[in-house]
């Protein structure tokens, strides 16, 4: 028996949150790889968010670090990079731009070789 | 009439026996359909525990195990901390912990119990004075005793967060728990591990007089690059190169070098002892053996269904466990060792003792070694001495089968020592000093077939020891004058990591 298209899309939509939830540990592992308590404390004190990203594709940690430090709103001293698991984090002044916009600016600077996916943005006002 | 009554009695008995047989044949303790695998989502909150770092009636805080607590739902709280531990005399190590101890507390439950677990990451809590522990970081929990989704339950949490989840213990055994946050190797090597005992639903089939938990682990240490000190003692931190090369500086029971030598576990002659033994690694294997007895029962992975009888040694890979039971046949000190003897010499040694006098003879397996000289020729001599000669001699540890050799290069000149090491049997036939030694020690020194180069190395080591070693009892290694010896982290091992 085949399903009509509308119920099939509905089934996938119902499944999607569960699939995303199933990858949660990978996300926390990537956060742990670049977590720096001093950065978290400093960001909270200066009303900045700490943005955690997964890195996909071949990346050179030094280049990633240099590019991230140049992005508008990013605190250069807060950039942390991990090779394994491949991850990146930084403190961001969200009044300058959003995490997604900051990542888009990084993509442009990196020239498409590397993809960054925002895992979590920890906002000191709203909590985790 | 009588025969009819007799027939009814026989028939009733047979029917009862058949009912019992059918009932027991149908009972499978591993019936998956009867196991509680119901998913119960974990919770992460920003509420922080305060007070003790470990809590729960099912916890034992050291090797001496409390009996099983009867309640079917067991609350277990193990918070994570960073602290300095005394790994060995004079060795202050920057550790990460569950429950503020290394290893973490032992959790004891029964098949069918529900474990309600919670953990606050308290690695950021203020410590007195200048902070010399590791910076706060994310941590997690991985219970080998649980059958749960790792993506939900074993997530890493940041300092100040609390993780809570529950699971049902479905299999009997002795299971490891550890931090699963990357890099897992570093989190385990820093001290984040412990034991969960899951008793069978009907309990164990034997009765014992003593129960102890033994957790074997490796430590990989180096001096703090920032040269920090704790109470005037140089701080030791995790050596990333050594941990990746699997070359530990210490291999210990229950987080302390020779801890059960200094504080033996008690037992009496005739008693039956049960050890719950877990090797948490993180990387090496253990050959667990108790000198002087044989394991009457071995239950691999802590499950009585996996039984051996009459074993001398149990091979445990990293995260493997066993329950071993044995009888103490007579008064004495029964030495627990990892029979991979390089590991025993690094501290994987302990004693089950029937009394103070019986504990005196430890040096058969733990003759003090000395600090390593910095001169490579003398260093080679030390390695050869410790692999070939320690059974009969010591340096500063007292006479054994042969004499204590501290001071030998001052008592005998180089020519005499060279001749002795080359051909002891010729010396014994002609040299008066050699004859005196034989008179005193009764055993002729065997010819070791040493090359000229090896003899030079031995003599260089004896000269270095005579100039520098400052023996202090049974301390391991025997200390040397400041500036004359390598620190433990730079001592060459059987698998040197740098030339």
- Here the ipTM equals 0.72
HEC per residue, B56-78: CCCEECCCECCCCCCCCEEEEEE
Report residue A87: phi and psi, to 5°: -155, 165
Of the listed ranges B125-139, B270-284, B477-491, the one predicted with least confidence: B477-491
Domain boundaries defined on chain B:
32-205, 213-359, 372-490
Could you report the per-residue pLDDT of A59-87, keeping only the tens digit for each? 789 999 999 999 999 999 999 999 888 89
Which of chain B's residues have a Cβ under 8 Å away from the Cβ of A128?
Answer: 44, 46, 158, 161
CA B344, distance to chain mean position in Å, is 9
Question: pLDDT-derived band of residue B21, with 50, 70 and 90 as boundaries?
Answer: low
Q: How far apart are CA B169 and CA B302, in angstroms?
A: 14
Average pLDDT over residues A94-108: 96
Contact A37 B159 (CB under 8 A): yes
DSSP codes, A48-88: -EEEEEEEES---HHHHHHHHHTSTTB-GGG-EEETTTTEE
Shortest alpha-carbon distance between residue B284 and chain A (Å):
23
Question: Can you give the residue range of the structural domain that contains A101?
Answer: 24-122
Q: What integer pLDDT is reported at residue A18 of this predicted model?
A: 34
Which residue in B226, B238, B114 sits closest to B170, CA to CA? B114
Q: Please check whether residue A14 lies inside any domain of the structure.
A: no
Under DSSP, the state recorded for A114 is -
CA B489, distance to chain mean position in Å, is 20
Q: What integer pLDDT is reported at residue B499 of this predicted model?
A: 32
Q: How far apart are CA B43 and CA B153, in angstroms?
A: 8
Q: Is the pLDDT of residue A125 over 60?
A: no
CATH number, domain containing residue A95 = 3.30.70.100
Higher model confidence: residue A18 or residue B82?
A: B82
Using the Cβ of B154 and the Cβ atoms of chain A, whether some distance falls under 8 Å is answered with yes
Q: Is the pLDDT of residue A104 over 50?
A: yes
Q: Please check whether residue A55 lies inside any domain of the structure.
A: yes
Could you report the per-residue pLDDT of B144-196, keeping only the tens digit for each? 999 999 999 999 999 999 999 999 999 999 999 999 998 899 999 999 999 99
**Is B213-359 a domain of CATH 2.60.40.420?**
yes
Q: Please check whether residue A13 lies inside any domain of the structure.
A: no
Q: Please check whether residue A11 lies inside any domain of the structure.
A: no
Q: Please check whether residue A15 lies inside any domain of the structure.
A: no
Would you tell me which CATH number, out of the four given (1.10.3080.10, 3.30.750.210, 3.40.50.1000, 2.60.40.420), belongs to the domain B32-205?
2.60.40.420
Q: What integer pLDDT is reported at residue B356 of this predicted model?
A: 54
Question: pLDDT-derived band of residue B324, with 50, 70 and 90 as boundaries?
Answer: very high
Which of chain A's residues have a Cβ under 8 Å away from the Cβ of B140?
Answer: 28, 32
Percent pLDDT > 70 in chain B is: 90
Question: pLDDT-derived band of residue B481, with 50, 70 and 90 as boundaries?
Answer: confident
Contact B156 A29 (CB under 8 A): yes
Contact B138 A31 (CB under 8 A): yes
Which of chain B's residues have a Cβ under 8 Å away from the Cβ of A22?
Answer: 149, 151
Chosen from A17, A18, A22, A25 to mutate, greatest number of chain B CBs within 10 A: A25
| Encoded tokens for A106 | 């990084």
Question: pLDDT-derived band of residue A27, with 50, 70 and 90 as boundaries?
Answer: confident
Q: Is the pLDDT of residue B360 over 70?
A: no
**Domains held by chain A: number:** 1
Contact A28 B156 (CB under 8 A): yes
Q: Please check whether residue A40 lies inside any domain of the structure.
A: yes
Which of chain A's residues have a Cβ under 8 Å away from the Cβ of B124?
Answer: 37
Average pLDDT over residues B430-448: 91
CATH superfamily name and code, B372-490: Cytochrome c-like domain (1.10.760.10)
Q: What integer pLDDT is reported at residue A2 of this predicted model?
A: 38
H or E element, residue A116: strand A115-122
Q: What integer pLDDT is reported at residue B137 of this predicted model?
A: 95
Average pLDDT over residues B125-151: 90
Q: Is the pLDDT of residue B75 over 50?
A: yes
Q: Are B109 and B58 in contact (CB under 8 A)?
A: yes
Contact B137 A128 (CB under 8 A): no
Chosen from B123, B148, B151 to mutate, greatest number of chain A CBs within 10 A: B151
Q: Is the pLDDT of residue A28 over 90?
A: no
Question: pLDDT-derived band of residue B490, with 50, 70 and 90 as boundaries?
Answer: low
Q: What integer pLDDT is reported at residue B489 of this predicted model?
A: 52
H or E element, residue A33: helix A24-34
Question: pLDDT-derived band of residue B10, with 50, 70 and 90 as boundaries?
Answer: confident
Shortest alpha-carbon distance between residue A2 and chain B (Å):
31
Q: Which residue of B has its CA nearest to A86?
A: B182
Most confident region among A46-60, B55-69, B129-143, B445-459 by mean pLDDT: B55-69
Average pLDDT over residues A102-122: 92
Q: How far apart are CA A110 and CA A65, in angstroms?
A: 11
Q: Is the pLDDT of residue B358 over 60?
A: no
Could you report the per-residue pLDDT of B381-438, keeping only the tens digit for each? 887 887 678 778 888 888 888 899 999 999 999 999 999 999 999 999 999 999 999 9
Identify any residues that bridge with B295 across adjacent strands, giving them in sequence order: B311
Could you report the per-residue pLDDT of B30-70, keeping only the tens digit for each? 999 989 999 999 999 999 999 999 999 999 999 999 999 99
Q: Please check whether residue A17 lies inside any domain of the structure.
A: no
Q: Is the pLDDT of residue B364 over 70?
A: no
Average pLDDT, rounded, for chain A: 80
Q: What integer pLDDT is reported at residue A4 of this predicted model?
A: 40
Q: What integer pLDDT is reported at residue B494 of this predicted model?
A: 33
Using the Cβ of B457 and the Cβ atoms of chain A, whether some distance falls under 8 Å is answered with no
Contact A31 B154 (CB under 8 A): no
Q: What integer pLDDT is reported at residue B357 of this predicted model?
A: 47
Higher model confidence: residue B485 or residue B120?
A: B120
Average pLDDT, rounded, for chain B: 89
Largest CA distance in chain B: 107
Q: Do domains B213-359 and B372-490 have the same CATH topology?
A: no
Of the listed ranges A5-14, B313-322, B486-495, the one predicted with least confidence: A5-14
Which of chain A's residues have a Cβ under 8 Å away from the Cβ of B44?
Answer: 128
Chosen from B44, B156, B185 to mutate, greatest number of chain A CBs within 10 A: B156
Question: pLDDT-derived band of residue B101, with 50, 70 and 90 as boundaries?
Answer: very high
Q: What integer pLDDT is reported at residue B388 of this predicted model?
A: 77
Of the listed ranges B106-115, B327-336, B359-368, the one predicted with least confidence: B359-368
Q: What integer pLDDT is reported at residue B16 of this predicted model?
A: 64
Chosen from B158, B181, B185, B190 to mutate, greatest number of chain A CBs within 10 A: B158
- C-alpha dihedral over A22, A26, A32, A33, to 10 degrees? -170
pTM attached to this predicted model: 0.74
Q: What integer pLDDT is reported at residue B375 of this predicted model?
A: 80
Q: Are B124 and B159 in contact (CB under 8 A)?
A: yes
Contact B155 A25 (CB under 8 A): yes
Q: Please check whether residue A1 lies inside any domain of the structure.
A: no
Return contacts of B100-103, CB within 8 angstroms, 24+ apart: B100/B53, B100/B54, B101/B54, B101/B61, B101/B255, B102/B191, B102/B255, B103/B191, B103/B193, B103/B194, B103/B195, B103/B215, B103/B217, B103/B254, B103/B255, B103/B280
């Amino acid at each position: 028996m085949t399903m009509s298209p509308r119920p099939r899309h509905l089934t996938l939509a119902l499944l999607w949150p569960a699939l995303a939830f199933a990858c949660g540990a990978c996300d926390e592992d990537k956060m742990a790889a670049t977590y720096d308590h001093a950065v978290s404390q400093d960001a909270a004190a200066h009303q900045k968010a700490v943005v955690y990203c997964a890195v996909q594709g071949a990346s050179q940690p030094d280049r990633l670090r240099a590019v991230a430090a140049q992005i508008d709103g990013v605190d250069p001293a807060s950039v942390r990079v991990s090779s394994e698991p491949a991850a990146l984090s930084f403190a961001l002044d969200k009044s300058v731009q959003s995490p997604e916009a900051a990542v888009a600016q990084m993509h442009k600077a990196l020239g498409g070789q590397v993809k960054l996916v925002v895992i979590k943005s920890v906002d000191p006002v709203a909590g985790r | 009439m009588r025969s009819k009554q007799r027939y009814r009695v026989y028939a009733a008995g047979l029917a009862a026996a058949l009912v019992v047989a059918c009932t027991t044949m149908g009972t499978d303790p591993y019936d998956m359909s009867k196991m509680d695998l119901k998913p119960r989502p974990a919770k992460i909150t920003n509420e922080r525990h305060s007070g003790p770092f470990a809590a729960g009636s099912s916890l034992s805080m050291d090797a001496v195990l409390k009996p099983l607590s009867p309640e079917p739902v067991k609350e277990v709280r193990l918070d994570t901390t960073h602290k300095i531990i005394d790994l060995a005399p004079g060795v202050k190590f920057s550790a990460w912990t569950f429950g503020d101890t290394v290893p973490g507390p032992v959790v004891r439950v029964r098949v069918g119990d529900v474990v309600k677990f919670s953990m606050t990451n308290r690695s950021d809590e203020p410590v007195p004075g200048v902070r010399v522990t590791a910076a706060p970081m994310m941590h997690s929990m991985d219970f080998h005793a649980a059958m749960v989704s790792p993506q939900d339950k074993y997530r890493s949490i940041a300092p100040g967060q609390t993780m809570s989840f529950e699971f049902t213990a479905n299999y009997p055994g002795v299971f490891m728990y550890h931090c699963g946050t990357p890099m897992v190797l570093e989190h385990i090597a820093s001290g984040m591990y412990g034991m969960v005992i899951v008793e069978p639903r009907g309990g164990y089939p034997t009765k014992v007089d003593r129960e102890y938990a033994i957790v074997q682990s490796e430590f990989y240490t180096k001096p703090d690059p920032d040269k920090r000190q704790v109470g005037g003692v140089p701080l030791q931190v995790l050596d990333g190169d050594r941990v990746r090369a699997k070359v530990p500086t210490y291999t210990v029971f229950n987080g302390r070098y020779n801890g059960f030598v200094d504080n033996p576990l008690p037992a009496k002659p005739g008693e039956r002892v049960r050890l719950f033994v877990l090797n948490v690694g993180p990387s090496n294997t253990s050959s667990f053996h108790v000198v002087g007895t044989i394991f009457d029962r071995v239950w691999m992975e802590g499950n009585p269904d996996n039984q051996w009888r009459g074993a001398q040694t149990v091979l445990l890979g990293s995260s493997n466990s066993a329950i071993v039971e044995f009888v103490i046949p007579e008064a004495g000190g029964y030495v627990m060792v990892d029979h991979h003897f390089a590991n025993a010499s690094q501290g994987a040694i302990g004693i089950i003792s029937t009394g103070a006098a019986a504990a005196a003879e430890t040096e058969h397996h733990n003759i003090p070694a000395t600090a390593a000289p910095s001169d490579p020729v003398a260093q080679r001599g030390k390695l050869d001495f410790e692999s070939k000669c320690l059974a009969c001699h010591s340096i500063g540890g007292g006479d054994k089968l042969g004499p204590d050799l501290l001071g030998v290069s001052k008592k005998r000149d180089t020519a005499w020592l060279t001749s002795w090491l080359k051909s002891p049997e010729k010396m014994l036939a002609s040299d008066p000093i050699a004859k005196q030694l034989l008179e005193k020690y009764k055993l002729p020194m065997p010819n070791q077939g040493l090359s000229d180069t090896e003899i030079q190395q031995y003599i260089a080591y004896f000269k270095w020891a005579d100039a520098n070693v400052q023996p202090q009892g049974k301390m391991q290694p025997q200390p040397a004058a400041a500036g004359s010896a390598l620190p433990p982290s730079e001592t060459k091992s059987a698998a040197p990591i740098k030339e």
